[in-house]
A and B are shown apart, each in its own frame.
Chain A
Amino acid sequence: MKRHTFGICGYALAASTQIDTHASSILFPLSNDIHSLQRSQILPDPYPAFGRLTTSEKYIVALASCALKTTIDRAATGICIGNVYGSISSDRDYWKTVTSGFPSPALFPSTLPSSPAAETAIALKCKGPLRVFCGPSAGFHAFLSSLALLSQVNETILLIEYSKDPDSAEFGWGSALCLSNKANFAGDFLQIDSETEVDSLAPGASDDKLYLYTLVHALKNHTLFQKRSRVGLKTITVSLQYKEFEHGTAH
């Protein structure tokens, strides 16, 4: 029997929409200061490496933790992630150790684009498949990949994307949240309304509209969604300024 939970974490960098307010209230009940994010705020179990994660990684783990709050079987939870930009700070921190004479093996993993997925899986004990996509449309490919996985295997999929530009076509999961707000959104569940007009869902650049159209098209036409009237599409997003990427690892 397939699981119905379908998590999407929209890791977007928009700054002034109602999405952000909503997300902030979910994600940061204890603090509005991004640098003060502590492991104990989101994870009950000890995770020593949390302190050396980059800021973006911390937030992805936090988002995933929120999205999986009601998921019981994390051993059957997979992660598909689209990593558009990676983290500048992790490269910089690692390079500092290289020039100091001993390249840090502890910092090296954070320089890899797959690191956020791996760290999330470690922190949340997710043992399903990990798929990482890189490049400008990485989020969308991660989304399609998770659909394919959901149709083939008995897994729960968590989708995460991080992107820096809210006006670009990579702004996928933010669009997904727009979709959830405009469609019949109820709690953690989203019903895709076939009458929903794409134009009304994509306020912004034309790329967004095109992207969202593709997203809606995929949602409507995939057999997974055709067969079910109710799909567990959980959406969480967060606001983060691009500069935080550069500040990176909190020391």
Chain B
Amino acid sequence: MEQLIENLKKQIVETLKLADIDPASIQTDAPLIGAGLGLDSIDTLELLVLLEKEYGITIPDVNVGRSVFASVRSLAEFITSQKKI
């Protein structure tokens, strides 16, 4: 899980071109959208594509998406849970 979290932080920075942000500085439990990392809806769209491309995972609906993109940890937990299915 910890390795996945670290990878996700790097992928978020690379995918969203957040060159000004050190992946290690992203707090695992901080909100990704709005407060915390401060991502917006367009960034979320890019992360959705990242999930599909890199992990073969789709978000079924908005409500699931809200909980999945709550933090890096929730994102990692969702990916792990989907792989088990």
A residues at B contact (CB < 8 Å):
38-40, 46-52, 102, 104-107, 249-251
B residues at A contact (CB < 8 Å):
16-21, 37-39, 42-43, 45-46, 49, 53
Task: Choose from B17, B21, B53 the contact partner of A106 (Cβ within 8 Å).
Answer: B17
Residues of B within 8 A of A105 (CB): 42, 45-46
The 10 tightest CB contacts between A and B, nearest first, are: A51-B20, A52-B17, A51-B19, A48-B38, A51-B18, A39-B20, A105-B42, A50-B20, A251-B19, A46-B38
A102, B18: Cβ atoms under 8 Å? no
Distance in angstroms between the alpha carbons of A52 and B18 in the assembled complex: 6
Residues of A within 8 A of B39 (CB): 48
Distance in angstroms between the alpha carbons of A49 and B19 in the assembled complex: 9
Known: A48-B21, A51-B20. 10 other contacts (CB 8 A): A47-B38, A48-B18, A48-B43, A52-B16, A52-B18, A105-B42, A106-B16, A106-B42, A250-B19, A251-B17
| Distance in Å: Cβ of A250 to nearest Cβ of chain B | 5
Distance in angstroms between the alpha carbons of A51 and B42 in the assembled complex: 15
22 contacts between A and B (CB under 8 A): A38-B20, A39-B20, A48-B18, A48-B37, A48-B38, A48-B39, A48-B43, A49-B18, A51-B19, A51-B21, A52-B16, A52-B18, A102-B53, A104-B46, A105-B42, A105-B45, A105-B46, A106-B17, A106-B43, A107-B17, A249-B17, A251-B19
Mostly, the A contact residues are: loop
* Most chain A CB within a 10 A radius of its CB, from B18, B20, B21, B49: B20
Residues of B within 8 A of A50 (CB): 20
| Distance in Å: Cβ of B48 to nearest Cβ of chain A | 10
Distance in angstroms between the alpha carbons of A46 and B43 in the assembled complex: 15
Distance in angstroms between the alpha carbons of A39 and B20 in the assembled complex: 7
Residues of B within 8 A of A104 (CB): 46
| Distance in Å: Cβ of B2 to nearest Cβ of chain A | 23
Residues of A within 8 A of B46 (CB): 104-106
| Distance in Å: Cβ of A74 to nearest Cβ of chain B | 18
Distance in angstroms between the alpha carbons of A48 and B37 in the assembled complex: 7
| Distance in Å: Cβ of B34 to nearest Cβ of chain A | 11
Task: Choose from A38, A47, A51 the contact partner of B17 (Cβ within 8 Å).
Answer: A51
Distance in angstroms between the alpha carbons of A49 and B37 in the assembled complex: 10
| Distance in Å: Cβ of A107 to nearest Cβ of chain B | 7
Closest B residue, CB atoms, query A37: B20
Distance in angstroms between the alpha carbons of A69 and B21 in the assembled complex: 24
Closest B residue, CB atoms, query A35: B19
| Distance in Å: Cβ of A174 to nearest Cβ of chain B | 28
Residues of B within 8 A of A251 (CB): 17, 19
Closest A residue, CB atoms, query B13: A51
| Distance in Å: Cβ of B10 to nearest Cβ of chain A | 13
Residues of B within 8 A of A48 (CB): 16, 18, 20-21, 37-39, 43
